[in-house]
């Protein structure tokens, strides 16, 4: 147990201790931190919704349209699906680009860009509890809905008249750790204010990273000048009375519905397609449009034809073999429709006539 001196108070924070999943989202009367380490199926991944948010912020900061070329899991069509989970490593790349493009005022800008509802059901968990603290517990417990629970730890700790939110991020780049830490605490404060319907002011804010820039921006963002740097963790401390007062506008049963939905999202989540799956999808789309060319498919992937050929070679295949395979798959689907004459099937998959198609069918059949 370590302590951060806040005036005449001592705020307890348990560092480096990750509770077990069985502890759930509850917090005991003696102040035991209780957060979930996240569901195994979602570890090492981040929600496409969160990655899309950071990508949009990066573009707004001046990133070039082709900035993430070569990372198919960051393609717009992939990030458009909120059920997709993107590898944490790719999400970290986006953060690195964002922090390189914009340094001062980043946390303030990200809070401005993320009003309530930006992160879907995870946002509404924060504002549906019987108290603000209850909403925090639900949000922290289901943080794997939006982020990598193994990399982003959010914990709630009580010590008498004080409640402290504790955050740690495990990314390696110092600039990214600083940016994520500042935004995480600022976002939590924003949701607390939304839930309480009042301008809650923290008692104290602490950051693990050293001061960079000026204190003024963060003082304005958090509403207090009592901010320290170089602490053991990122923390924001509140008067318990501000977070435990019963909320007048609570909708009975809503928290249970949102928790059930959060559980469902974990079950329905989909891993992002790997490069080969994205390539096959682009090739199939090109086949629908006519005779596919490596130049057309490469352009859709924002890669050069040479790079596409190299990656296929690394997988032990070739452009010609992949086109042949895609044609075979498409032909099998079309031949299942008895209404289509052989001539029409040949035309749709890029063959000049029925004879060429028959030769291909014999080859595919061995």
Question: What is the residue extent of each domain of the chain?
Answer: 2-270, 275-364
CA triple 237-141-21, angle to 5 deg = 120
| Cα–Cα nearest to 120, from 112, 132, 128 | 128
180-193 tens-digit pLDDT: 999 999 999 999 99
State the chain's mean pLDDT as an integer: 84
On the question of pLDDT at 4 being above 50, the answer is no
Q: How far apart are CA 152 and CA 88, in angstroms?
A: 11
Q: Kind of pairing, strands 227-228 and 270-271? A: unpaired
Tell me whether residue 337 is exposed, middle or buried, using C-beta atoms within 10 angstroms of its C-beta: 0 to 12, 13 to 18, 19 or more. Answer: exposed
Say which residue the tokens 């509802």 belong to.
Answer: 117
Q: Which CATH class is domain 275-364?
A: mainly alpha
Q: How far apart are CA 23 and CA 25, in angstroms?
A: 7
- At residue 16, the pLDDT reads 31
Chain centroid to Cα 77, Å, comes to: 15
105-121 tens-digit pLDDT: 999 999 999 999 999 99
pTM attached to this predicted model: 0.72
243-263 tens-digit pLDDT: 999 998 899 999 999 999 999
- At residue 35, the pLDDT reads 55
| Cα–Cα nearest to 174, from 227, 105, 230, 236 | 230
Kindly provide the b/e burial profile for residues 188-200, where b requires at least 16 CB atoms within 10 angstroms of the residue's own CB: bbbbbbbbbeeeb
Confidence band, pLDDT 50/70/90 cuts, at residue 25: very low
Q: In degrees rounded to 5, what are phi and psi of residue 165? A: -90, 130
On the question of pLDDT at 235 being above 50, the answer is yes
Q: How far apart are CA 240 and CA 148, in angstroms?
A: 28
Confidence band, pLDDT 50/70/90 cuts, at residue 329: confident
Mean pLDDT along residues 325-342: 74
- Are 208 and 230 in contact by the 8 Å Cβ rule? The answer is yes
| CA distances from residue 139 to 58, 194, 208, 339 in whole angstroms, order as listed | 25, 14, 22, 54
- Are 192 and 205 in contact by the 8 Å Cβ rule? The answer is no
| Cα–Cα nearest to 83, from 126, 145, 149, 37 | 145
Confidence band, pLDDT 50/70/90 cuts, at residue 196: very high
| Cα–Cα nearest to 187, from 128, 148, 234 | 234
Q: How far apart are CA 21 and CA 43, in angstroms?
A: 13
On the question of pLDDT at 54 being above 60, the answer is yes
């Amino acid at each position: 147990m370590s302590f951060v001196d806040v005036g005449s108070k001592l705020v307890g924070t348990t560092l480096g201790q990750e509770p077990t999943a069985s502890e759930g989202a509850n917090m005991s009367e003696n102040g035991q931190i209780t957060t979930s380490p996240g569901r195994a199926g979602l570890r090492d991944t981040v929600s496409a919704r969160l990655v899309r948010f950071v990508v949009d912020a990066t573009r707004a900061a001046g990133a070039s349209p082709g900035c993430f070329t070569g990372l198919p899991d960051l393609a717009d069509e992939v990030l458009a699906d909120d059920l997709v989970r993107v590898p944490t490593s790719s999400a970290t790349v986006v953060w690195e680009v964002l922090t390189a493009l914009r340094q001062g005022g980043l946390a303030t800008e990200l809070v401005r860009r993320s009003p309530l509802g930006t992160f879907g059901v995870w946002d509404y968990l924060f504002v549906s509890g019987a108290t603000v603290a209850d909403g925090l517990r639900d949000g922290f417990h289901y943080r794997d809905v939006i982020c990598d629970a193994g990399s982003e730890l959010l914990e709630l700790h009580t010590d008498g008249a004080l409640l402290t939110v504790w955050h740690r991020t495990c990314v390696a780049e110092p600039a990214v750790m600083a940016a994520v830490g500042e935004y995480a605490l600022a976002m939590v404060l924003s949701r607390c204010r939304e839930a309480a319907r009042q301008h809650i002011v923290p008692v104290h804010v602490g950051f693990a990273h050293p001061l960079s820039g000026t204190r003024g921006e963060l003082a304005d963002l958090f509403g207090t000048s009592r901010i320290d740097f170089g602490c053991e963790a990122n923390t924001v401390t509140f008067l318990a009375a501000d977070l435990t007062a019963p909320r007048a506008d609570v909708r009975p049963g809503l928290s249970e519905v949102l928790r059930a939905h959060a559980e469902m999202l974990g079950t329905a989540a989909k891993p992002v397609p790997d490069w080969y799956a994205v390539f096959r999808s682009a090739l199939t789309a090109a086949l629908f449009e006519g005779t596919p060319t490596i130049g057309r498919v490469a352009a859709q992937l924002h890669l050069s034809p040479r790079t596409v050929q190299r990656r296929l070679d690394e997988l032990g295949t070739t452009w010609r073999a992949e086109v042949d395979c895609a044609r075979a798959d498409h032909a099998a689907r079309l031949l299942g429709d008895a209404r289509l004459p052989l001539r029409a099937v040949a035309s749709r998959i890029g063959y000049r006539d029925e004879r060429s198609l028959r030769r291909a069918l014999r080859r595919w059949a061995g």
